[in-house]
Structure 1
Amino acid sequence: MTWQPFYVGDGAAPADPDRPVALPKAPPWREFPRRSLHEQFVPPPGLVEAVNAALALRRPLLVTGPAGSGKSTVIEQVAAELALGTVLRWHITSRSGLTEALYRYDALGRIHAQRLKGRGGDDDIAPFLRMGPLGTALLPTDRPRALLIDEIDKSDLDLPSDLLDVLERGEFEIPELARYETDVVAVREWQGDAHHDVERGRVQCTEFPFIVMTSNGERDFPAAFLRRCVRFTMPLPTPETLLRIVEAHMGARTARTPEADRLLTVFLERLTAGESLAVDQLLNAVHLLAGDGAPDENRRQAIEDLILRELSHA
């Protein structure tokens, strides 16, 4: 991009209110609605083999690495190449539980609807049920679904163990439907408005989903959980890998400028020294500093320090 101080800090409104300051076009990775960057993702050595092993064995792939290393983009690329459909996403927090990932049941909403309709009214449970991301991935299909379980190391200590039976058996029960008076209920899937018939509350996959679980390496997992996964640790990027990543996002013309080469070298040196940095920080720095009309030396250094700030502290 061409560097321009759009904001100058004087509080003055535009001279012509009908012609406000034109803001720059967003970099590709910050355009909304968000688009998949699977075409730009460059898998590190060994990742292709790990993905193929997970696909062949029908086992989840556990990818460990620092933030911004591309862990969650892996599944986008696999889903695109193998036509697995839209990626289902389950973002883990400390409050995440297995049941909510399998299905959601609005019990209070159903009670409220029953009161409004009164006795003898229609008591359809379907509008108050919805599959969760994991439950949707386990629905019977001709081809596997793709499911991202993001940042599983942020979960409650019990969640990995709770997952074991589901990952091993590929099935689960919805108790509210198991005791419901109607044998078959059409339940809405996690994304979109598609519905799937569930018989007597039982969901059984026919093709085990392709699951990628990401971890920042902030905790250990039980051995019983790890043995059910294919594990891969994202390695430190090489100069060649970083150059390919920058080229994929910005083109060779920008990636091979002297300033981009300098930023790449500084970034890799700091990573090798043990600093916590993300690849998207490098992309941000190249986007701001390696294009036409880059700022002068004093401002350039201030911007570089701002963008390439170490992540392990505020």
Structure 2
Amino acid sequence: MSLWPVYTGTSDPHDGIAELPAPPPWRDFDGGPELATPAEDGDTSAASPDRRHRARAYRATDRAVQLVNAALYLRRPLLVTGPPGSGKSSLAYAVARELRLGPVLRWNITSRTTLHDGLYQYDPLSRLYAAGRAAARDLPADGRPAADGQLPASGELQDHLRLGPLGTALLPYGRPRALLIDEIDKSDLDLPNDLLNILEEGQYEIPELVRAARQTPSAEVMIDGTDDRVRVSRGRVRCRAFPFVVLTSNGEREFPPAFLRRCVRLELHQPRDAHLERIVRAHLGEPDAYARDLIDRFLARGTDGELATDQLLNAIYLTGAAGIDASSRDDLAEQLMPYLSRTHDEPDAF
């Protein structure tokens, strides 16, 4: 029985990821002890209604299915480029849902984001304040501090440190976690290069814990998105199953060749024709005559400027609402589908 593809794009959850073949020798990781994957996002309250719906309704192209599987088999990040509204971030949620990879770890990138932000956050001031409050509360009767000079328990390092989305994704889970690094093209110029070693080696260190390892060999550290804790030994983290990493880009900048060659690259376009109808049907059910007319008009208008699929979905949903008279529908639909950009300068047609 063929194991390809593991991700099918059908949106039906399954455990095929457990049958994923062994990685290439140069991408084989051995972190441990093995951690269980958290409960899947599925229909739990941990996921927003928007993300749950988009994960269920996402319809992948054949090319997307092929390249998602290439990234899974090769244990490589997937760099997804495309215009706004083409489904770049939704792809990560759809794959996580189908393959039961647990809640998606999301890292939103800005021009001020650093690698450290994605790995972990440490607040030394809160630790110092906590230690001071505990010391004042526990001061001996003679008014003198303890002779050993140690921080009180509430000043423990682990209580003021939390792993970020990238740091959490690289924990030694038994099956890959899904990590969405959203809008990597908005980052500082150095961030893609800073990511190279982490994504290549599948491991990192937390210097604060490494320095404390002689007195505290292991620490219970909070992870991203929850108050759950995991044990980190001697400040070092190494993955076991390389995470399914999706980096999204609107194509606004070029990336270094060294970064690109370590990624599987997928370019998404705005859906057309039958694929667009499949998307509408997945979100809103079978389109009626007016919805089909809107689809045709959307496709025709897309040759003159950039439109996003969610603009069409909004127009179909709202113009089908009860109480909107026929004379108002066309004007409303046009207002809901403005151009995001144009291929040439021209005045608004509507």
Fold conserved between structures, TM > 0.5:
yes
Give 3-state SS (helix, strand or coil) of 1:39's partner.
helix
Instruction: Pick from 259, 262, 267 the counterpart of residue 298 of structure 2.
Output: 267
Measured after TM superposition, the shift of residue 292 of structure 1 is 4.9
Answer yes or no: is 1:74 the counterpart of 2:108: no
Aligned to 1:217: 251
Answer yes or no: is 1:289 the counterpart of 2:306: no
Alpha-carbon RMSD:
1.8
Name structure 2 gaps, 5 residues minimum: 1-46, 136-144, 147-151, 343-350
Aligned to 1:15: none
Measured after TM superposition, the shift of residue 226 of structure 1 is 0.5
Answer yes or no: is 1:207 the counterpart of 2:236: no
Measured after TM superposition, the shift of residue 291 of structure 1 is 4.8
Give 3-state SS (helix, strand or coil) of 2:57's partner.
coil
Q: Is the 8 A contact 2:271 2:309 kept in 1?
A: no
Aligned to 1:167: 199
Once the two structures are superposed, the pairs formed by residues 124-203 of structure 1 within 5 Å of their partners are 124-180=156-212, 181-203=215-237
Q: Is the 8 A contact 1:59 1:211 kept in 2?
A: yes
Answer yes or no: is 1:111 the counterpart of 2:141: no
Residues in 2 aligned to 1:203 and 1:301: alpha-carbon distance in whole angstroms: 57
Q: Is the 8 A contact 1:44 1:235 kept in 2?
A: no
Q: What do the CA deviations read for 1:166-213 (whole angstroms, capped 9, x no partner)?
A: 000001110000001311001011021221111111111111100011
Measured after TM superposition, the shift of residue 293 of structure 1 is 4.5
Instruction: Pick from 268, 291, 305 the counterpart of residue 334 of structure 2.
Output: 305
Give 3-state SS (helix, strand or coil) of 2:198's partner.
helix
Residues in 1 aligned to 2:50 and 2:86: alpha-carbon distance in whole angstroms: 18
**One-letter amino acid matched to 2:283:** H
Q: Is the 8 A contact 2:79 2:266 kept in 1?
A: yes
Measured after TM superposition, the shift of residue 63 of structure 1 is 0.7
**One-letter amino acid matched to 2:103:** T
Residues in 2 aligned to 1:309 and 1:215: alpha-carbon distance in whole angstroms: 22
**One-letter amino acid matched to 1:210:** F
Aligned to 2:280: 246
**Moved beyond 3 Å, runs of 4+:** 31-35, 290-294
Q: What do the CA deviations read for 1:3-40 (whole angstroms, capped 9, x no partner)?
A: xxxxxxxxxxxxxxxxxxxxxxxxxxxx9654412221
Measured after TM superposition, the shift of residue 223 of structure 1 is 0.5
Answer yes or no: is 1:277 the counterpart of 2:294: no
Q: What do the CA deviations read for 1:267-299 (whole angstroms, capped 9, x no partner)?
A: 1122233x12111100000011245554332x2
Q: What do the CA deviations read for 1:20-70 (whole angstroms, capped 9, x no partner)?
A: xxxxxxxxxxx9654412221111230000000000000010111111111
